[in-house]
Amino acid sequence: ETEQRATYIVHMAKSAMPAEYADHGEWYGASLRSVSTGRAAAAKMLYSYDTVLHGFSARLTEQEASDMAGMDGVLAVNPETRYELH
Amino acid sequence: TTRTPEFLGLAGSEGLFPQSGTGGDVVVGVLDTGVWPESKSYDDAGLGEVPSSWKGTCMAGTDFNSSACNRKLIGARFFNRGYEAAMGPMDTSRESRSPRDDDGHGTHTSSTAAGAAVADADLFGFASGTARGMAPKARVAVYKVCWLGGCFSSDILAGMDAAVADGCGVLSLSLGGGSADYARDSVAIGAFAAMEQNVLVSCSAGNAGPGSATLSNVAPWITTVGAGTLDRDFPAYVQLGNGKNYTGVSLYAGKAPPSTPTPLIYAGNASNSTSGNLCMPGTLSPEKVQGKIVVCDRGISARVQKGFVVRDAGGAGMVLANTAANGQELVADAHLLPAAGVGEKEGTAIKSYIASESKPTATIVVAGTQVDVRPSPLVAAFSSRGPNMITPEILKPDIIGPGVNILAAWTGKAGPTGLAADTRRVNFNIISGTSMSCPHVSGLAALLRSAHPEWSPAAVRSALMTTAYSTYTGGAGSPILDAATGAAATPFDYGAGHVDPTRAVEPGLVYDLGTSDYVDFLCALKYTPNMIAALARSKSYGCAANKTYAVANLNYPSFSVAYSTANGEAGDSGATTVTHTRTLTNVGAAGTYKVDASVSMSGVTVDVKPAKLEFTAAGEKKSYTVTFTAAKSQPSGTAGFGRLVWSDGKHTVASPIAITWT
């Protein structure tokens, strides 16, 4: 529970959304909750993306990121990068 | 900007670019540090109603009302969740939780791309004139994704997500970082979807030059922009006690420097630190520099900070000497004390004088603005260079544009140096970087999109690239030079060359590309289905098992051949050939184009088939192949360059060629 969280970009396969979800935001939220269940602090979603990627960004522990990467419908889980002005 | 419209041939050529109707409806989205909406560069006089297709918004926040937008600045949003999640709550006494630009960079870049014309613009009298963006009738939407602590990819993606959904036609990103493969690079990911939705994405190449293989933003669906100089300088003279006079640059405009000779000291001799020559904070001994002009070496810390360090230590002035990393390139800054930047040669001479003289003295004379400087453009020393380390078979950068000593609008929250100690406030500032060249090209792309709304992002880029020049227009064919070395620059430095918008509007032929072409490119790179799906947002894109993919077949407007010595290509056993296939689309009148191709590398030949292409109608497509044959292997690191040009006598459709051995 003392693990540090970092931001990850989670890419989802939009077409793989299970039928029980009404929209993708709901599916993303459920996916996020499923990897942080049982932890003292829930993983937090920062953004849900829909136009340039299907997925979301969230604060995850390394373990949560790893678990997320193994879930059905998850294409990739990439750690956040810091860019600089040129 | 002042001067760049003239330098690019845009002044008085408004008729080439229709600016009414759909032409004025191009929206340039700028992802940067926000906007200073009070700047006259966002005056909307003469602009029609905001396009009905526009879905953007003007987000209110700290010191920023939703009424800050108008018919020029039609959108302003901010994205800070990633930043604050990583760095903690922002210090709202230092930065605004709103689209407000606290830094100046975003105001500078967006006004460069599409700022309205502002008469009597200048910085302390320097670079005076009418400042305007490259597409002065285009609309601007700003997406603040960069903060004092940097630009975080979750925020950048959110900004790109919004910008594309809002209806931007061009995105301008003067930022970069790392060199991850495309499936992990957020800018590349966002740009792919933008491209797919008919949005051109222009990015800065980076300021990591002049070293080779230093590029950012090299995905082939991104237009990658390096930087060149203008034909404008801000000369300053360093007159030494021995009578020698050296020319440098300065934007100093404060209290007049002493007209009498002032004691001169090298910072390396005024410090106990091993890096004292760099005038890093806390390294100068006040008792040694008090009242003297201090010679500092360029590097590591910001140029303007060195001036502040000298002033803080009691120095009377500063000579900022380039090192080998910068060569003779002169970048001007609005220093807080009398200062002049000088080239490496001049710096070496001045330091030699100090070493040889018991009581060296100097006088700094700031001489104002000079135009019609030749030769120009030069490739900026700082501009990042190829080869492309992610995909060596794609030549990057694509193009260069003005990026040195560029005047454009500035924030009211920071002084021209950006230093906290700089309490001056200016409406315009002069700064340098590929950050400055990128929005030039973004604005020019908006102009082309206004003139040719039917062109794809790739067609617009192709037009910009194939009409670029790599020799001086007024220099009898002399090659563009590299400011870092003084020698001829190469396509690794300037890509296709320097942008020439008046030719780009009528390129004759274009190399077009679409989503499926880029997916084929990813297949050639052996990306997994998941990587492709993450990039392309769909599982429906994939690689066919029975199809052969090759990077060389990507219909790119340039050629890069990367031979590998390790793999024995063109080894002792004989010649090796690499064949590229391209397809040209006619966007002009009927015509017969003939090819001329050559490479300046012994043992390498280039053969184009067919050598003649006949187009009878607009929209017609014709393919050709280029075969590069290397007779023998070359040592690793060997490079050669050339050019392939199709011409019908009226148009020249030119592509750079780079051949490397790794």
Mean predicted lDDT score pLDDT of chain B: 94
Specify the range with the lowest mean pLDDT, choosing from B35-49, B322-336, B367-381, B388-402. Answer: B322-336
Complex ipTM, two decimals? 0.97
Residue B473 is predicted with a pLDDT of 61
Q: Which pLDDT score, from 0 to 100, does residue B25 have?
A: 85
Nearest 5°: the CA angle B543, B548, B596 is 120
- Report pLDDT digits (tens) over B408-445: 999 999 999 999 999 999 999 999 999 999 999 999 99
Residue B207 is which amino acid? N
Whether B104 has a pLDDT exceeding 70, the answer reads: yes
Look at residue B231 in the predicted model and tell me its pLDDT: 96
pLDDT value for B474:
60
Task: Tell whether the torsion through CA atoms of B397, B398, B403 and B404 is positive or negative.
Answer: positive
Q: What is the average per-residue pLDDT within B34-56?
A: 96
Residue numbers in A near B435 (CB within 8 A): 85-86
- Give the mean pLDDT of A18-22: 92
Catalytic residue among B105, B335, B580, B651: B105
How far apart, in whole angstroms, are the C-alpha atoms of residue B304 and residue B329? 16
Cβ atoms of residues B510 and B584 within 8 Å: yes
Q: Which residues of B604-626 are buried (b: 16+ CB within 10 A; e: fewer)?
A: bebebeeeebebeeeeeebebeb
User: For this structure, is B432 an active site residue?
Assistant: no
Tell me how close the Cα of A77 comes to any Cα of chain B, in angstroms: 9
Continuous H helices in B147-185: 153-166
Q: Closest approach of chain A CAs to the CA of B432, in angstroms? A: 9
pLDDT score of A33 more than 90 = yes
The closest alpha carbon to B155, from B165, B143, B164, belongs to B143
Cβ-defined contact of B82 to A80 (cutoff 8 Å): yes
pLDDT band at B12 (very low <50, low <70, confident <90, very high): confident
Q: Which pLDDT belongs to residue B621?
A: 98
CA-to-CA distance for B520 and B526, rounded, in angstroms?
10
What is the rounded average pLDDT of the residues A23-44? 86
pLDDT tens sequence across B564-595: 876 555 544 456 899 999 999 999 999 999 99
Minimal C-alpha gap between B177 and chain A (Å):
5
Q: Is B105 a catalytic residue?
A: yes
Q: Given A13, A59, A83, which is nearest B153 (Cβ)?
A: A83
Lowest mean pLDDT among B97-101, B471-475, B490-494: B471-475
Which residue among A16, A75, A83 places its CB closest to the CB of B534?
Answer: A75
pLDDT value at residue B3: 96
